[in-house]
Chain A
Amino acid sequence: MATTAEPTTAVTQPKMVNLTIEGRPVSVPEGTSILEAGKRAGVLIPHYCYHPALSIAGNCRMCLVDVEKAPKLAPACATAAAEGQVVHIYTEKALEARKGVLEMLLINHPLDCPICDKSGECELQDFTYQEGPAESRLRDPKRFNPVEDFGGDVLYTTSRCILCTRCVRFMDEMAQDTVLNVTERGDRALIGKFEGKDLTHEWAGNVIDLCPVGALLSKDSLNKARSWELDHAPSICTGCSQGCNISIDTRDNMVIRFRPRPNEHVNKYFMCDTGRLDYRWINRQDRVEVPLVRRGESLAAADWDVAIPATAALLDGHRVFVAASPNLSNETLYLLSQLIRANGGTGAFTVPTGPEAPLPGVPDLSLRADRAANGDGATLLGFKRTASLLDGLAAGDVLIVADADAANITPAQLALAAAVIVIGTTLPENLRTAAIVLPIANHAEEDGTFTNLRGRVQRFFQAKAAPGMARPSWWVVGDVLAALGKGNAYYLASEVFAAMASDVSAFAGMTYDALGMRGLVVSGGAK
């Protein structure tokens, strides 16, 4: 009788250690630091130099905690949790030590919070407010150093630097491009650049996020907003197919900046500079704000109640050719695929490409050659990736240009179509002959999901209001389908997703709740 061999790679469970932190029992895998164990127990141990993605430096000495039976205070970042350990974070001894560190950090730190870009999200400010000394005992002049341009998007405000070396370690360990160093000794020490080097690495902007104080700042967002004026929405970067998790920070309905949002499955804590600085288009002012319906030679503004039936009428009985943007959500692409299914026809998309730029220290994290967020989602939903956008457009088709880049569409191609419907955020010059223009929200203005190159389906959330009468793209397509009698109108993106999950096997079993903030991989697995 044939026997089945035992699997040779058995999954070994890590040995767990049990300890108490601030009275809370917690169980963590052996080797976990007290600082990380504290996070598991729900207590944040103040720290500056520690970062989960970087090597332990243990130099800020801010995370000193009281461990019972230990002779001295222990740095929580560099001390492993041990069985039966009892850790206190708020004993007088530990508080005094951290107060001492804060006082030391502040003696030369300029108190320029009113003009510092980091104010409101500065960890020195936060912990000083929490545990720091009420007043300074410094009677001597503060040290002063000039501001330095580090190249790329990074400005170094030397006097604010607390020498935590996160930036140095990021460039050494993650970017693996040694640009930064600690120059000089004693209190003259500062972060310097190696001769002839600049922070022009594709991922260098991350040092801005990693800096716990206002020493490293983005030139791009300098003085644009105070942090407390910003609204934050979790989103996904559309710069490439990696699908880095980001926060879209807005002020008065304008996007001020993108920042990486941690997701251990996709981008850890980082994002590339191309993605980081690729936000201005969201603020563009030449948006289509009202539905437009052709009246003779011109396009006239119309209410949605007019534009949707008019669109349905135009589509009725015609094959369609949908030229889709690979940055449309799964939800919108799904409804467009329903339209194709109902009327017959095809859908296609093109993906702009560029050079790959990996972050060497993080496996499988790269600025991908495919510079679009949802090419893989589009493929899963039946759209064909083509070299030329309108390849396959048949005479007599109704051409739907769904926010695709229309720059290369020629009048001759348009003439082939029975009619042109634009579902878009803007109306390109060469599509002004369209019969109908339906204004939609961009991805920062609606909810939805993208599928990244590894098949991970990830949610993004509305960060700002769409201009004028523009509606979420899935809403618009859903209404067109309903008007055609080929589907239901949808009122929530989650309803569209639910319909897609029950219809398309790749998304089977998924819900918005299940996706959460980390996403799930489509059935069939990661590529």
Chain B
Amino acid sequence: MGYPHPSHAGETPVLSQYFGDQDGIGLDGWRKRGGYNGLQKALSMSPAEIVDVVKASGLRGRGGAGFPTGIKWSFMKPGDGKPHYLCCNADESEPGTFKDREIMRWTPHALVEGCAIGAYAIGAETAYIYIRGEFTEPLIRMRQAVREAYDAGIIGKNAMGSGKRIDIVIHKGAGAYICGEETAMMNSIEGRRGNPRIKPPFPAVSGVFGQPTTINNVETLAAVPHIIVRGAEWYKGLSLSSPKSTGSKLFSVCGNIAKPGNYEVTLGFPFKDFLYDLCGGPLPGRTFKAVVPGGISVPIQTMEEAEATKMDYEGFIEQGSMLGSGGVIVFDDQQNMVKQIARAARFFAHESCAQCTQCREGTAWTTKIMERIRDGEGTHEDLDTLFSIADNMTGKTICVLSDSCAVPVVSGINKFRSEFEALIKKPKFHPVTAAVA
């Protein structure tokens, strides 16, 4: 799918404004488009002023959890005598989510700029950008952008002539889903196995290399330069749901839909309009059945729920799901939900880091049962067992990968139980035994 999308009144291209614009990738082109004005302005402000602007903008983390960014930055105590670190989470591995890689592909300098502002705001001299290993093209673009920024003196020991040191290091991951979990990512940056760490201590106290660390998603950091240039009030005004959910958000859309791709809308946009108007609705002759709105680890919505949803942090929760990463996966009436959920479970079973018992064993056991049901070998007791396993997997492990596997299974059975039961009731093949006279 190419960019730009056919213009639609509902789209609000802030981050995606230059998607598809080849000339905006390099430094010169990016500067012509206003690039690095945000950093220039930020470097003339104090770190505390930047944090205040970000707080006032209401920007919330776009990686999934939705924690207010300004408040997260304010946890970093200036003058504590320790090195601070910023880590940009560019691991984007959530099935159904592909927005960060597009930011990096088309506007790599936006991320460099966001990282530089973030690092300055939290008192860090070094920012790590942790990029998923499979993201070959974004990796090449980011490496080039960082090199250009160094060569132009935008970052480095005297960033934009400010006397401030801002280094950006690109760390290529090896392609493990769990390395997108912030503490596992820190382990990976340190060269260790990507296993999540027990919290507390939280990263702001003891993060990468044991030092105070802030971790932000690509999309979050890419939004920061716009907020600095245009102001907090402008960003808040973008929203239909201010003050709780402000600004614009990229949603990646895939599955059985006419126009899959990345769409940027302001938070609070009606999900129904989004699916039918922006994304073109279902394929000809089909109807929508279900949606996963925030990446596969959030609860599945029926179409009735989805059509009643406001696209913001609170709106998705009200309708029984979550905004998550904004990875919208659409299923139409041709889809077998048991098969889809079994596939999701297999993904989590494959990616579990194997630390916690419930996750290591639970994801695999869930997968075995789901695949058995899918293959027509399930029983009604299996559904009870799945609920019970999901209960054991929820809220009891170091990170939430285990919960993420349980969520689609539980919501899937709850909302599409008839599909499960239809497979369970499927007549089994029994050989006929001839009566012997």
Judge: A and B partners, yes or no.
Answer: yes
Partner of B354, one of A61, A75, A104, A186: A186
Bound Cα distance from A311 to B363, whole angstroms: 76
Contact B354 A97 (CB under 8 A): no
Q: In the complex, which residues of chain B have a beta carbon less than 8 angstroms from the beta carbon of A139?
A: 369, 372, 379, 382
B residues in contact with A415, CB < 8 Å: none
Nearest-neighbor residue (CB-CB) of B384 within chain A: A137
Contacting pair B354 A189 (CB below 8 A): yes
Query: In this complex, which of B361, B388, B397 has the most chain A Cβ atoms within 10 angstroms of its Cβ?
Result: B361
Contact A104/B353 with A73-B396, A185-B176 known, Cβ cut-off 8 Å: no
User: In the complex, A184 Cα to B372 Cα: how many Å?
Assistant: 24
Residues A187 and B360 in contact, CB atoms below 8 Å apart: yes
> B363–A187 contact, CB under 8 A?
yes
**Chain A residues in 8 Å Cβ range of B365:** 104, 107, 138, 140
Residue-wise interface mask of A (474-489) relative to B, using a CB-CB cutoff of 8 A (1 in contact, 0 not)? 0000000000000000
The residue in chain B whose Cβ has the minimal distance to the Cβ of A164 is B357
Q: Which listed segment binds B: A52-60, A241-249, A326-334? A: A52-60
Contact across chains for B396 and A64 when beta carbons are under 8 A apart: yes
Nearest-Cβ distance from residue B344 to partner chain A, whole angstroms: 14
C-alpha spacing A186/B349, complex, angstroms: 6
B53 at interface by CB-CB < 8 Å: no
Considering only residues 113-151 of chain A, those with a C-beta below 8 Å from chain B are 137-140, 143
Per the 8 Å Cβ criterion, residues 313-356 of B in contact with A are 349-356
State whether A187 touches B361 (Cβ < 8 A).
yes
Assuming the contacts A100-B396, A187-B349, asked whether A140 and B368 have C-beta atoms less than 8 A apart, the reply is: yes
CA–CA, A61 to B382, complex, Å?
Answer: 24
Q: Given the interface contacts A137-B385, A186-B363, does A104 sit within 8 Å of B357 by beta carbon?
A: yes
Taking a contact as CB atoms under 8 Å apart, the answer to whether B357 and A62 are in contact is yes
Are the C-beta atoms of A56 and B198 separated by less than 8 Å? Answer: yes
Interface code B385-409, partner A: CB below 8 Å = 1, 0 otherwise? 1001001100111100000000000
The verdict on A227 contacting chain B, using a C-beta distance below 8 Å, is no
Interface check A72, CB cutoff 8 A: yes
Interface size bracket, B side = 20 to 34
Does B193 have its Cβ within 8 Å of any Cβ on chain A? Answer: yes
Are B396 and A185 within 8 A (Cβ)?
A: no
Asked whether any CB of chain B lies closer than 8 Å to the CB of A101, the reply is: yes
Complex CA–CA separation, A188 to B350 (angstroms):
8
Q: Are B352 and A186 touching (Cβ within 8 A)? A: yes
Q: Is the CB of B358 within 8 A of A61?
A: yes
A59, B358: Cβ atoms closer than 8 Å? no
Considering the complex, give the chain B residue whose CB is closest to the CB of A102: B357
Is A343 engaged at the interface, CB distance under 8 Å to the other chain?
no
Quick check: is B118 within 8 A (CB to CB) of the other chain? no
Verify if B299 is at the interface (C-beta below 8 Å from A). no
Select one of B193, B351, B362, B388 contacting A182, CB under 8 A.
B193
Q: Is the CB of A61 within 8 A of B350?
A: no
Whether B358 pairs with A100 at a CB distance below 8 angstroms is yes
B59 at the A/B interface (Cβ < 8 Å)?
no
Q: Which residues of chain B come closer than 8 Å to A73, judged between CB atoms?
A: 395-396
Nearest-neighbour CB distance to chain A for B212, whole angstroms, equals 20
A466 CB to nearest B CB, Å: 48
- A163 interface hit (Cβ, 8 Å): yes
Task: Report chain A residues within 8 Å CB of B176.
Answer: 185
Q: Are A97 and B392 in contact (CB under 8 A)?
A: yes
> How many angstroms from the CA of A250 to the CA of B354 in the assembled complex?
38
Tell me whether A61 and B368 are in contact (CB under 8 A).
no
* Chain B residues, CB < 8 A from A104: 357-358, 360-362, 365, 392
Asked if residues A97 and B360 are in contact (CB atoms below 8 Å), the reply is no
Bound-complex Cα distance A59 to B369 (A) = 24
In angstroms, Cα B391 to Cα A140, docked, is 20
Which residue of chain B lies nearest to A185 when distances are taken between CB atoms in the complex?
B354
- Contact of B372 with A140 in the complex, beta carbons under 8 Å: yes
The answer to whether A100 touches B398, judged by C-beta atoms less than 8 angstroms apart, is: no
| A61 and B396 contact, CB distance less than 8 A | yes
Question: A103 to B363, Cβ gap below 8 A?
Answer: no
B residues less than 8 Å from A64 (CB atoms): 396
Q: Verify B357–A101 contact, CB threshold 8 A.
A: yes
What string of 1s and 0s marks CB contacts (under 8 Å) between A55-95 and chain B? 01111111010000000110100100000000000000000
Taking CB atoms, residues of chain A closer than 8 Å to B296 are none
- Within the complex, which residue of B349, B361, B372 is in contact with A105, where a contact is CB–CB below 8 Å? B361
User: Which residue from B178, B353, B369, B397 sits with its C-beta under 8 Å from A140?
Assistant: B369
Q: Is A162 an interface residue (CB 8 A)?
A: yes
Contact B396–A107 (Cβ < 8 Å): no
Question: Which residues of chain B are near A163, meaning CB under 8 Å?
Answer: 354-355, 357, 360
User: Do A162 and B357 contact each other (CB < 8 Å), given the known contacts A59-B398, A61-B396, A138-B365?
Assistant: yes
Say yes or no: A187-B354 contact (C-beta < 8 A), given A58-B198, A182-B193. yes
Alpha-carbon distance between A189 and B352 when the two chains are bound, in angstroms: 9
- Closest chain B residue, CB of each to CB of A100: B392
Instruction: Name the CB-closest residue of B to A78.
Output: B198
Give Cα A57 to B176, complex, Å.
20
* Contact between B395 and A61, CB atoms less than 8 A apart: no
Judge if B160 is at the interface, Cβ distance under 8 Å.
no
Mask for A148-190, Cβ within 8 A of B = 1, else 0?
A: 0000000000000011000000000000000001101111110
Nearest-Cβ distance from residue B206 to partner chain A, whole angstroms: 13
Q: Given the complex, which residues of B lie within 8 Å of A101, measured CB to CB?
A: 357-358, 392
Report Cα–Cα, A108/B354, bound state, in Å.
14
Binary contact readout B168-192 vs A (1 if CB under 8 angstroms, 0 otherwise)? 0000000010100000000000000
Contact A60 B357 (CB under 8 A): yes
CB contact under 8 A between A184 and B396, given known A56-B198, A140-B372, A189-B360? no
Q: In whole angstroms, how far apart are the Cα atoms of A39 and B369 in the complex? A: 39
Is B218 among interface residues, defined by CB-CB distance under 8 A?
A: no
With CB as the reference atom, state the residue of chain B lying closest to A97: B396
Are B392 and A182 neighbours in the complex by a CB distance under 8 Å? Answer: no
In the complex, what residues of A have CB within 8 A of residue B397's CB? 61
The reply on B364 being an interface residue by CB < 8 A is: yes
CA distance A97 to B396 in the complex (A): 8
Contact indicator B354/A182 (Cβ below 8 Å): yes
Residue of B nearest to A75 (CB): B198
Q: How far is the CA of A61 from the CA of B357 in the complex (A)?
A: 7
* A65 CB to nearest B CB, Å: 12
Report the 3 A-B pairs with minimum CB-CB distance, sorted nearest first.
Answer: A100-B392, A189-B354, A187-B364
Other A-B contacts than A108-B361, A143-B364, A186-B360, 14 sampled, CB-CB below 8 A, are A73-B396, A97-B392, A100-B391, A100-B392, A101-B392, A103-B392, A105-B357, A137-B388, A139-B372, A139-B379, A185-B178, A186-B363, A187-B354, A187-B360
A binding-site residues for B, Cβ under 8 Å: 56-62, 64, 72-73, 75, 78, 97, 100-101, 103-105, 107-108, 137-140, 143, 162-163, 181-182, 184-189
Q: B residues bordering A, Cβ < 8 Å?
A: 176, 178, 193, 198, 349-358, 360-365, 368-369, 372, 379, 381-382, 385, 388, 391-392, 395-398
CB-defined A-B contacts under 8 Å, sample of 29: A58-B198, A61-B356, A61-B396, A61-B397, A62-B357, A64-B396, A100-B388, A101-B358, A104-B358, A104-B365, A105-B357, A107-B365, A137-B381, A139-B372, A140-B369, A140-B372, A162-B357, A163-B354, A163-B360, A182-B193, A185-B350, A185-B352, A185-B354, A186-B350, A186-B351, A187-B352, A187-B361, A188-B354, A189-B354
